[in-house]
Structure 1
Amino acid sequence: MTVNRTAPAYVITRAPALPGQPGAPARERCDGPPAPVVRDLRERPGRAPHALLFGPGDVVVVTGLPGGGKSTLMRRAAPGPRIDSQDTRDRWDARLAHRLPYALYRPLVRLAHYAALRRALRGGEGVVVHDCGTQRWVRGWLARAARRRGGALHLVLLDVAPEAALTGQRERGRRVSRYAFGRHRRSVARLLAAVERGELPEGCASAVLLDRAAAAGLRRIAFTGRPGPGTR
């Protein structure tokens, strides 16, 4: 596992390659699948990349705290296929929010979100997916789906302070409950700590860590080449 804070890379591919490093684990030097890679783009004012490019058929999961800017980033930087649970909720809210509390139709929103995600994964194109970091089984599902498509799963983690995330919720006029936010906060904190140690979720090929400045400077999340079953 490699944690990279200095490389000026602006492209992330399915198998990000880094120069060999003294003392690197033997598994990085042996033949076989590339070891997962972490690229830390935090605290790099003016030097963070403007684009992240992935391979055809890859699945990119954007995760972080509610209110941390995931949907904003996806809408600005991911012009291609994307599945955002917030988009799904907005559509259902337009139909039902004036008649019912969200808690009553939340299960339907989740079913609609996962149905849209399943449809997107059946295709061969790369896709960007919104995730709050609490559903580990979803990442496992996405990793398996990416492998079947000849791609890989990648993680883009927004490291945003809880206070900033709460401010983001207030600005968008939609706050999660204190209980739910606490659950998200603990889950994201565990995920962030694991990634900082170089421990990626099972099936994840790479992770990119962004702070608010790096996320604000990111203009494009896209996929290169043409998808093909079983291609690498």
Structure 2
Amino acid sequence: MKRITAYATTSGIALPEQPGVPARDACGPQPAAVVRDLRDRAGRSPHGLTFGAADLVVVTGLPGSGKSTLMRRAVRGARVDSQDTRDRWDTRLAGFLPYAVYRPLVRLAHYAGLRRALRSGAGVVVHDCGTQAWVRRWLAREARRRGGTLHLLLLDVTVGTALDGQRERGRGVSRYAFLRHRKAAGHLLRSVEKGNLPEGCGSAILMDRTAADVLNRIDFAAGVATAA
């Protein structure tokens, strides 16, 4: 099984070694951010991604790109997915209230759950819709505080694939919301392709749908901490 580690160089596509440092020293000079492009490999991409024990991973992409599906299938460890939070609230309220009414409560519950997960100190994989840049800034600060690294896992799919994904799950977003997501995701993708990562992000991995389908494990190595 092909695997890629985010904390040690083990193959031509692995991220460079980023040895752990105490949180109090994490504000010094930091290594340059790393971008790994796993797109257009016809399925010959890693089957696993392993990160440091104190790292945080953000999975981002268009609505319908497969973020939740990937997280549910591959994450071994803590994951915080806003879709899971919405599903729980939908079970209780969707029968007699439109989603717009309780959307603020869903968001509040999601961020409260994320805060609890971060307080554990363990590695966490977080779903990010791409339009809330402040969330990535929050996670970057938390990663540095704990002496870890924030990693970005970006799913790059076509608009048609994303819309098909929304239809398959039986739930879409409005045209206005999708255009907002598309603009934000496009801007992020272009920046990452140029090597310009969001502030505080130590690495980024670009994946297309084929690479995402091959990936079956995202985990955190016990006893290993990395610094952004």
Q: Determine which of 108, 111, 115 is the counterpart of 2:112.
A: 115
Matched, 1:138 2:166: no
List aligned pairs for 1:131-170, cutoff 5 A: 131-170=128-167
Alignment partner of 1:66 is 2:60: no
Tell me the residue number matched to 1:25. Answer: none
Task: Could you tell me which runs of 5 or more consecutive residues in structure 2 were left unpaired when the two chains were aligned.
Answer: 10-14, 18-27
Q: Is the 8 A contact 1:125 1:227 kept in 2?
A: no
Q: Which amino acid aligns with 2:16?
A: A
Task: Give aligned-pair identity as a percent.
Answer: 67
Change (3 A) 1:14 1:115: farther
Which string of whole-angstrom CA distances, capped at 9 and with x for unpartnered residues, describes residues 155-202 of structure 1? 000001011100100110001000000000000000000000000000
Correspondence 1:208 to 2:202: no
RMSD: 1.9
Cα distance, 1:11 vs structure 2:
1.8
Q: Does structure 1 conserve the Cα–Cα contact (< 8 Å) formed by 2:3 and 2:48?
A: no
CA deviation string 1:63-111 (max 9, x = no partner): 0000000000000000210000000000000000001000000000000
1:124 Cα offset (Å): 1.3
Query: TM-score with structure 1 length normalisation?
Result: 0.87
Report the CA distance between 1:47 and its aligned residue. 1.7
Indicate conservation of the 8 Å contact 1:54/1:224, yes or no: yes
How far apart, in 2, do the equivalents of 1:179 and 1:70 lie?
20
Number of residue equivalences: 211
Matches within 5 A, 1:1-232: 10-13=4-7, 16-17=15-16, 32-226=29-223
Any gaps of 5 or more consecutive residues in structure 1? 1-7, 19-30
CA contact (8 A) 1:14 1:55 kept: no
Give the Cα separation in 2 of the matches to 1:134 and 1:32.
Answer: 29
- The one-character-per-residue Cα deviations of 1:129-155 (angstroms, maximum 9, x if unpaired) are 000110111000000011111111000
